[in-house]
Amino acid sequence: MIDRRTALAGVVGMFGAGLFAPIARAAQASKIPVISDGPPSAAVFTTAQRALVSALSERVIPTTDTPGAIAAGVPAYIEKLLADWSMPEDRVPILAGLAAIEARSQQDYKLAAAQATPVQQDALLTLAMNDQLPSGGKFFEAFRQLVITGYYTSEIGITQEREYLPVPGEYNGQFPYSQVNKVYSA
């Protein structure tokens, strides 16, 4: 079975030079022990921020016919990566972006962003993506990378979203694309 460190190494090629520093650090660390599944060494988020990270993670990769980001443990992965694999300056865009999203939600919807509807949360993420919030662009790119990496290196992402085949089947150059059901990971 593929492990999280091997999957992380594959993520490096996906994001290229724009890879968020803690992800690159975790993927390239060869002399450092394997990333533990335990809790983070220190709390990075407040309770409210943790709830917001969960809500926004689920908006980036929602539950559909496969489990979403929350079921895959992405919010805990993000906090673990920020606590154990980031420098203090790496956390700045994430924390600033969460604060900006929270402030905008209070301003526009008069409620906490974690309590906003999915449509409202999508609107807040779109503002961040389009750099229409303070630190929005930097936040969105780093946050998106954290969610995607956390999801696709999780057991759910590897085995349920993708179909795991340790040794993929034979080559068939004429296999109809319409019959491809899932992307395979090996």
- The mean pLDDT value for 141-163 works out to 86
CB neighbourhood size of 155 (10 A): 14
42-73: pLDDT as tens digits: 899 999 999 999 999 999 999 998 899 999 99
Please name which of 143, 146, 142, 183 lies closest in space to residue 165, comparing C-alpha atoms.
183
152: pLDDT strictly greater than 60: yes
- The mean pLDDT value for 4-11 works out to 59
**Cβ–Cβ < 8 Å for 98, 79:** no
Query: Has this prediction a pTM greater than 0.75?
Result: no
| DSSP, residue by residue, 87-125 | -HHHHHHHHHHHHHHHHHHHHHHSS-GGGS-HHHHHHHH
CA distances 170 to 59, 84, 165, Å, are: 37, 41, 12
Q: Characterise 161 by phi-psi region: left (phi > 0), alpha (psi -120 to 50), beta (else).
A: alpha
162-175: pLDDT as tens digits: 665 565 666 667 77
107-122: pLDDT as tens digits: 999 999 999 999 999 9
> Rounded to whole angstroms, how far apart are CA atoms 40 and 81?
8
> Rounded to whole angstroms, how far apart are CA atoms 9 and 181?
25
Residue 178: pLDDT band by 50, 70, 90 thresholds? confident
- The mean pLDDT value for 127-149 works out to 94
33: pLDDT strictly greater than 70: no
